[in-house]
Structure 1
Amino acid sequence: MDCAEDDCDRPAVVELHVPWAENRLVCAAHARVLGRQDGVVADPKPDADDELLG
């Protein structure tokens, strides 16, 4: 599965739990940025390749 962010074709390796919106699966790069927002929790997908998580 690809990252849920627009114009990103990286593999989704992290699930973001967003209190004000639906959860979404994103790549490691977007998870690092979006996971810094207050209330957002980033959970690595259990089947994600460690190399892709950065």
Structure 2
Amino acid sequence: MACSEPDCERPAAVELHIPWAENRLVCAAHARVLGRRDGIVADPFPERADDLLE
């Protein structure tokens, strides 16, 4: 499954739980940036843990 952010073809590694919108499946790079916003909870996929270390 690919990252849901536009123009990103990396594999999704994290589900972002966003209170004011639908949850999103994003790559590790986008999760690092978007997960810093207040209220967003990042839930990593255990099988994609290696992607989070890059």
CA distance in 1 between partners of 2:46 and 2:24 (Å): 15
Q: Which has the higher helix share?
A: 2
Q: Name the structure 2 match of 1:40.
A: 40
Alpha-carbon offset, residue 53 of structure 1: 1.1
| Structure 1: gaps of 5 or more residues | none
Over residues 1-54 of structure 1, what are the superposed CA-to-partner deviations in whole Å (9 max), with x where a residue is unaligned? 000000000000000000000001000000000001110000101221x32112
Give the alignment's TM-score, normalised by structure 1. 0.91
Q: Name the structure 2 match of 1:13.
A: 13
Which of structure 1's runs of 4+ aligned residues deviate more than 3 A? none
Aligned residues: CA RMSD? 0.8
Q: Name the structure 1 match of 2:52.
A: 53
- Percent of aligned positions with the same letter in both sequences? 72
Partner SS, residue 31 of structure 2: helix
